[in-house]
Amino acid sequence: MAGQILLIEDEPNIAEAIRFLLGRDGWQVTVLTTGQGAIAEIARLGPQVVILDLMLPVRSGLQILTDIRADPATLDLPVLMLTAKGQERDREAAFAAGVSNFMTKPFDNNEMRAAVRALMGGT
Amino acid sequence: MSFNLLVLICLLYVALLFVLAAWAEGRAAIGGTRILRAPLIYPLSLSIYCTAWTFYGAVGYAARSGLEFVTIYLGPTLVFIGWWVILRKLVRIGRVHRVTSIADLISSRFGKSNLLGVTVTLIAVTASTPYIALQLQSVTQSFAVFASDTPQGWALPNGSATAAWVAGGLALFTILFGTRNLASNEQHHGIVTAIAFEAVVKLAALLAVGVFVVWGLGGGPSAVAGKIAALDLASWRPDASRWTALIFVSAAAIITLPRMFNVMVVENIDSAHLARASWAFPAYLFLMSLFILPIAVVGMERLPTANPDMLVLTLPLSEGQGALAMLAFLGGFSSATSMVIVETIALATMISNHIIMPAWLRLRPKAAMRSDLRAWVLRARRLSIIAVLGLGLEYFRLSGGSSNLAAMGLIAFVGMAQVLPAVLGGIFWRGATGVGAMLGMVAGIAVWAGLLFLPSFGAAIDPDGMGKDLFGPHWAWPAAFFGAADMDPLVHAIFWSMLVNITLFILGSLLTFPGPVERVQGAAFVNVFDQDIAADRLGWVQGQAEPEALLAMAQRIIGEDAAISLFEEAARAQGKGGFLPDLTPDFLSMLERRMAGSVGAATAHAMISQLFGRAMVTVEDLMAVANETVQILEYSTRLESQQAEVTRTARALREANEKLTAISVQKDAFLGQISHELRTPMTSIRAFSEILTEGDLPPEKVAEFGAVIHAEALRLTRLLDDLLDLSVLENGSVQLNIATANLGALIDRALAASSQTRPERSFDIQRAPSQEEIFLRTDEGRLVQVFINLISNARKYCDANSPTLRIAVRQKGAKVLVDFIDNGTGIPKDQQGIIFEKFARLSDTAAVGGAGLGLAICREVMASLGGTISYLPGQKGAAFRVSIPLRIGRAV
């Protein structure tokens, strides 16, 4: 069974690049373009990995991450956070909120694939 | 001269006034008050004191009672020369408190009590009715004089029909000019200019007739002087009590007559004008009275049987001087029309502000808050004008057209004088109370009505019969008490009405305690020169009203432009941008006073209270404020001012510190934003280019990814362009390319350039091309850049089903306002403050693209063009106002 990935990213071109990249590695990638309804989508889809952009319309990535960690069902769900702001403060905040891994945009394609593979292996 | 010609000349004359008034109004509308600042306009406008009574009646008065007519000029002269302290204080109070009428002054002074406002209004209407009737009568009589003079023998069908036509015409003119708009300071530039012109006409006419009489008929000054000496005038000695009384009422009249108060206080645009009027107006009066006695003497000699009130007209006519008679007729016509117009406006303002509007507010409070009040107020004014003139006409008919003009005028003078104690007490005596004012005025006016007003109905008034009171001769006994058993009836009425009035006013004031608002207002009026703190803090505590709701209400009362700029200035004074200031007590009091200028103090207070609902101040709050105010006023010691200085410095330091912190936070946030905006396109470019370099892709994928890379690279370029542009603009190092441009053409260009934003959506543009015919000296390219930004934003973000953008252009002074208003949901209030900040994007980029620098650039561009751009709250959709100076580089 191919691993399910939920990608929450508001930039359509970036979402397309990640979907293509990870799809080629055999993962099932579902894209959500806003922070709205992210929790419900996680519950419905049951992904093995969530890739979460930090700056999202409606609800920020940090808020969604906090909700994920607050729910016992998703307490251990691997979450990879992406950000374009690249400030050290954001990284600290993300780790404090319980993120599994953190990458800065622009990212190296191979690093992205490796990070996802590592998170998948962890489940 | 035929009747038709006479009517034609009257109509032409009125048309001339009309054009003059319209021209002055037009100049004032574009900010040119230069005409009104002309040195002599103000004293000339004061000359409406000289009505048809003075013009025709003074000669009649002189013919009947000799030199006594001089008292009518002496009273005002004394006030202007000797007592202008009173006038200066009145004018100052009028300006600070935006007083609209004498009723408003008293109502406002005594605790914004509308009951007092109504009382003064009723007194004014009652007292002025005979006076207006007098003007109608004099115009009718002068028509009749011309009528009887013609050989063809045309005759006026009927005196009251002529009077009705005259009244109707005056009502029309007054409505056209007095109620065209609702200025918050209740000033009518057009009318003031017209009456100043009429002042010149009447003076010229009287002087011309005088010169003709002295040199043409009387045989030169010495011969006329001889004639005067030959009369018993030579041995005549003034009756001291009658002279004192007449000088007193005419002095009171200059302050209290509604029209005098209107031109002197309400229409005053510069208190320095008053100083000039203190010699210019007495000089005018002197010239007006110069030839009265010669005309009377020569007239009585040549036309012993004629009505002495019409000698100014009949003397030239009987000598065959048609043109001179025509000039005299126009002089009299000017005197009558200018008086009626201003008096009617003053009375109509009182009636609508103190009777109609409060009644309506009380009956339909909800409707009053919603509908367009301006239209309502104007309608009330127009009805009031018609009612006032109707009353005058009715009095004219009932009194049967008295043959004595002076008597009718004196009745009005004595009636209005009943307001004087309350006015003077109100501005000089802190202890005066509303109860005292009310008691004094009501009792005084009752005595006046019994002794003078009611007896004036019915039979013709003769001066000797005046004062034969309703109560029978026994009522006259107190006269004997003062050692003057044969006290003159008019003096009798003046003396008793004022005695009763002043006594009750003082007693009432001493025995009652003023309410809180009354105390605050009392201090503010009496100490108007010290400070206007008292007025500034009229007891508004922080309430729950929304600034936006207040703005909406203010727009309906003082007009959209005035309200918006008032709010904008207030917000700027508080150090805020935009149009919505904090509702501080200062701001609310200021707003209340501005509104008071349109609807009266009591009504404005009631309306703001209504909007504040329960947040209105309690009596305790008011007492606290009142005490505080009294303290500030009475013990404004150095200690307090030093403390204020320290507090101010501390606040300045705190603000500076906060500003620095805010700048640092902003800089961080800005760097984060820049980073985000630059990295986002770079992410797509890098990811796809790495994919492409791997090489094993189908050709259609290669093309697709290549296109993405290209689009993102363009986005990156655009962003960098914007950033550089913004940096240049912010440094102020931008090169402007100034040329003359047609605004309409610039909007056309912007519309064409922005048509590619969401082209799939139909988008309706509403314009008024005729308004756009404005030529600007500006940088076309930069201005078009701003327009494109606003139009594209509307195309992108307007969420209506059939999106529409209205572009409204208006010229206001040296500025052009261009409003872009769409029909979407607009921008939420909490975000209106930040949209002009960099990267203040409100919705998601995915849908619409763009980095959120557009409005920040617009703001900088407008600043470099000497204009502004701001969000306009209170419209239906998103609304932006661009304000552009007509010529760049000129102060706006």
Buried b (16+ CB within 10 A) or exposed e, B599-615: bbbbbbbbbbbbbbeee
Question: What are the chain B neighbours of A113 within 8 Å (beta carbons)?
Answer: none
Q: Is the bond preceding A106 in cis, omega lying within 30 degrees of 0?
A: yes
A23-37, B564-578, B716-730: least confident range = B564-578
Residues B560 and B544 in one domain: yes
Asked if the structure places residue B408 within a domain, the reply is no
- The DSSP bridge pattern shows strands A49-53 and B738-742 to be unpaired
CATH number at residue B212: 1.20.1730.10
Residues B558 and B649 in one domain: no
Token readout for B174 is 């007054």
Note the pLDDT of residue B543: 45
Cβ–Cβ gap B680/A107 under 8 Å: no
Cβ–Cβ gap A86/B708 under 8 Å: no
**Separation of first and last alpha carbons in chain A:** 13
In this predicted model, what pLDDT tens digit does every residue of B327-378 receive, in sequence order? 888 888 888 888 888 888 889 888 888 888 888 777 776 665 566 667 777 8
For residue B233, pLDDT over 70 is answered with no
- Closest to A87 (Cβ–Cβ): which among B672, B684, B685? B672
Residues B727 and B761 in one domain: no
B227-241, B296-310, B563-577, B774-788: least confident range = B227-241
Helix (H) or strand (E) holding B673: helix B638-694
Residues B792 and B872 in one domain: yes
For residue A73, pLDDT over 90 is answered with no
Asked if the structure places residue B89 within a domain, the reply is yes
Token readout for B728 is 């240049």
Note the pLDDT of residue B688: 93
For residues B250-263, give the mean pLDDT: 88
For residues B588-617, give the mean pLDDT: 66
* Neighbouring C-alpha atoms within 13 Å toward the C-beta of B476: 17
SS3 of residue B440 by DSSP: helix
> Higher-confidence residue: B115 or B611?
B115
Cβ–Cβ gap B683/A107 under 8 Å: yes
> Higher-confidence residue: B279 or B34?
B279
Note the pLDDT of residue B472: 38
Note the pLDDT of residue B72: 84
Note the pLDDT of residue B376: 76
- Round to whole Å and give the CA distance between B139 and B681: 85
Note the pLDDT of residue A18: 94
Question: What are the chain A neighbours of B843 within 8 Å (beta carbons)?
Answer: 57
For residue A49, pLDDT over 90 is answered with yes
- Round to whole Å and give the CA distance between A103 and B887: 54
Note the pLDDT of residue B840: 61
Average pLDDT, chain B: 78
CA distance B841 to chain A (A): 10
A101-105, A111-115, B593-597: least confident range = B593-597
Average pLDDT, chain A: 88
Note the pLDDT of residue B404: 56
Q: Which of A41-50, B179-188, B217-226, B844-853 has the highest mean pLDDT?
A: A41-50
In this predicted model, what pLDDT tens digit does every residue of B164-176 receive, in sequence order? 888 888 888 888 7
B80-94, B386-400, B479-493, B850-864: least confident range = B479-493
- Which of left, alpha, beta for A26 (phi over 0: left; psi -120 to 50: alpha)? left
Note the pLDDT of residue B263: 86
Note the pLDDT of residue B807: 93
Cβ–Cβ gap A85/B687 under 8 Å: no
- Round to whole Å and give the CA distance between B205 and B334: 10
Question: What are the chain A neighbours of B687 within 8 Å (beta carbons)?
Answer: 14, 17-18, 21, 106-107, 109
Question: What are the chain A neighbours of B682 within 8 Å (beta carbons)?
Answer: 105-106
CA distance A73 to chain B (A): 30
Residues B262 and B322 in one domain: yes
Count Cβ atoms below 10 Å from residue B735 Cβ, excluding itself. Answer: 7
Residues B879 and B839 in one domain: yes
B380-394, B503-517, B660-674: least confident range = B660-674
**B785 in reach of chain A (CB within 8 A):** no
Cβ–Cβ gap B844/A17 under 8 Å: no
B212-226, B500-514, B671-685: least confident range = B212-226
In this predicted model, what pLDDT tens digit does every residue of B739-786 receive, in sequence order? 898 999 999 999 988 887 778 888 899 998 888 888 999 998 899 999
Residues B704 and B747 in one domain: no
For residue B235, pLDDT over 60 is answered with no
**B680 in reach of chain A (CB within 8 A):** yes
A30: confidence class by pLDDT, cuts 50, 70, 90: very high
Question: What are the chain B neighbours of A53 within 8 Å (beta carbons)?
Answer: none
Mutation to test the B interface, candidates A9, A13, A19, A58, most B Cβ within 10 Å: A13
- The DSSP bridge pattern shows strands B738-742 and B775-779 to be antiparallel
CA distance B665 to chain A (A): 13
Q: What are phi and psi of B429, to 5 degrees?
A: -125, 110
CATH number at residue A64: 3.40.50.2300
B459: confidence class by pLDDT, cuts 50, 70, 90: very low
Residue of B nearest to A10 (CA): B846
In this predicted model, what pLDDT tens digit does every residue of B500-509 receive, in sequence order? 999 999 999 8
Note the pLDDT of residue B29: 66
Looking at residue B661, what DSSP letter applies? H
Token readout for B7 is 């009517």
> Higher-confidence residue: B328 or B577?
B328
Asked if the structure places residue B410 within a domain, the reply is no
Note the pLDDT of residue B633: 52
Note the pLDDT of residue B1: 56
For residue B621, pLDDT over 50 is answered with no
Residues 6+ apart with CB under 8 A from B454: B470
- The DSSP bridge pattern shows strands A49-53 and B804-812 to be unpaired
Note the pLDDT of residue B685: 93
Range of the domain at A66: 4-121
Note the pLDDT of residue B820: 93
Token readout for B700 is 């259609």
Residues B600 and B644 in one domain: no
Note the pLDDT of residue B722: 84
> Token match 């008050």: residue?
B33
CA distance A86 to chain B (A): 7
CA distance A91 to chain B (A): 13
For residues B700-717, give the mean pLDDT: 90
Note the pLDDT of residue B92: 85
Closest to B108 in 3D by CA, of B122, B118, B97, B119: B97
CATH number at residue B705: 1.10.287.130
CATH number at residue B759: 3.30.565.10
For residues B523-529, give the mean pLDDT: 76
* Final residue before a domain boundary, out of B675, B700, B731: B731
For residues B125-134, give the mean pLDDT: 86
Note the pLDDT of residue B470: 36
Residues B727 and B742 in one domain: no
Cβ–Cβ gap A105/B690 under 8 Å: no
* Final residue before a domain boundary, out of B691, B713, B731: B731
- Closest to B691 (Cβ–Cβ): which among A20, A87, A105? A20
Q: Which of A78-87, B176-185, B445-454, B812-821 has the highest mean pLDDT?
A: B812-821
Range of the domain at B558: 516-628
Residues B747 and B692 in one domain: no
Asked if the structure places residue B690 within a domain, the reply is yes
Q: Which of B403-412, B561-570, B865-874 has the highest mean pLDDT?
A: B865-874
- The DSSP bridge pattern shows strands B804-812 and B764-767 to be parallel
Residues B177 and B123 in one domain: yes
Note the pLDDT of residue B185: 52
For residue B199, pLDDT over 50 is answered with yes
In this predicted model, what pLDDT tens digit does every residue of B261-320 receive, in sequence order? 888 888 887 777 888 888 888 999 999 888 888 888 888 888 877 777 788 888 888 887
**B845 in reach of chain A (CB within 8 A):** yes
Residue of A nearest to B686 (CA): A106
Asked if the structure places residue B482 within a domain, the reply is no
Residue of A nearest to B678 (CA): A84
B535-549, B660-674, B814-828: least confident range = B535-549
CA distance A5 to chain B (A): 18
Residues B760 and B717 in one domain: no
Number of structural domains found in chain A: 1
